[in-house]
Amino acid sequence: MTQLHDSYDLAGLTLPNRVVMAPMTRVRSNPEGLATASTATYYAQRASAGLIVSEGVHPHVEGQSNPLTPGLATDEQAASWVQVTDAVHNHGGRIFAQLMHGGRVGHPDNTGGLQPVGPSAVAAPGRGFTPKGPQDFPTPRALSGDEVVEHAASYGEAAARGIGAGFDGVELHGANGYLIAQFLSSNANLRTDSYGGSIENRVRFAVEATAGAVEKVGGHRVGIRLSPDSGIWGVEETESRELYLALLEQLSPLGLAYVHLEATTDDDTLLALRKAWDGTLIMNPARPGGPTPAGPEDARRWLDNGADLISFGRAFIANPDLVERLRDGLPLAEADPATFYAGGDRGYIDYPTYRA
């Protein structure tokens, strides 16, 4: 029986356990999108995870979703991550960068005046974070055909910068209503060209972005995160199960390190996707916005259902030693939601280990 603390061979990268630190936005970069010394401390504190997936890192200057989020869109931003990857490796860890293009989920105040872009000129519902406080999402500029190719290629270019900065791999953020998910969508994507309409067309951007990253750094260094039926930021998907089965079929020949699924839909669909994907599967069992973070029982259930690795999000915020607490049956500390996106070191690098 697979155990959470068994080792695992992830495409040649040896993980000492099957606990993955899930990507979580923490808005702690500097205004230029550079990782900081505190970023290095934060991830190094959690290096006992089998694998860390970083917070969302924008691969293109037009892809920044929130203020004070770091990037891999420029060489300067990439150089700022070296201190982070060095710190994680020096503490015995492994880290992938999550490449997150916000698409229509953004605001000109976050990108130096650049208009958000998307598959179509359809605004996301709700309000987003900006330096001036919450503001309505503007209508994005619909990408031209040539621009679609450019933005798909940006994932590969950022992947190359990330590997150059010392990351062990990259994860494309294809979930939670951001750009890849917008192309998969049937209400955010109203295109009539080869990137919209049919299932075959709607998965094209995701496949091309992933293939571009594989071409740059190799499939063993590339994963993708997906959230079927999440509804986050107003994204809807018709024929959802068929859509994601078609996507996995096209991703399969690329030799990816893993697919990372969120438990955003019914278990039957998730199990169908597990059956269809014969590679490594990371499962994040916590429902987005749910009242409690995922725990050991959730991990056990999904390991029994065929997941290879289990990712934990909120539990890692207040428990830098989460792996040890899970292993030894120790109580978990609760994080303070008021500091999730507050900036500064409080609620970021000041949570103690259990032994401390």
144, 240, 348, 353 from 249: Cα distances, Å: 27, 14, 39, 42
Name the 3-class secondary structure at 149. Answer: helix
100, 110, 125, 299, 318 from 95: Cα distances, Å: 16, 26, 33, 21, 19
Supply the DSSP string of 82-143, one letter for each residue: HHHHHHHHHTT--EEEEE---TTS--GGGTTTPPPEESSS-PPSSEE--TTS-EEPPPPEEP
Catalytic status, residue 178? yes
The residue with tokens 């030799």 is: 255
- The catalytically annotated residue of 42, 43, 155, 178 is 178
Query: Is the Cβ–Cβ distance between 43 and 166 less than 8 Å?
Result: no
Max CA separation in the chain (angstroms) = 58
Which residues are catalytic, by number?
178
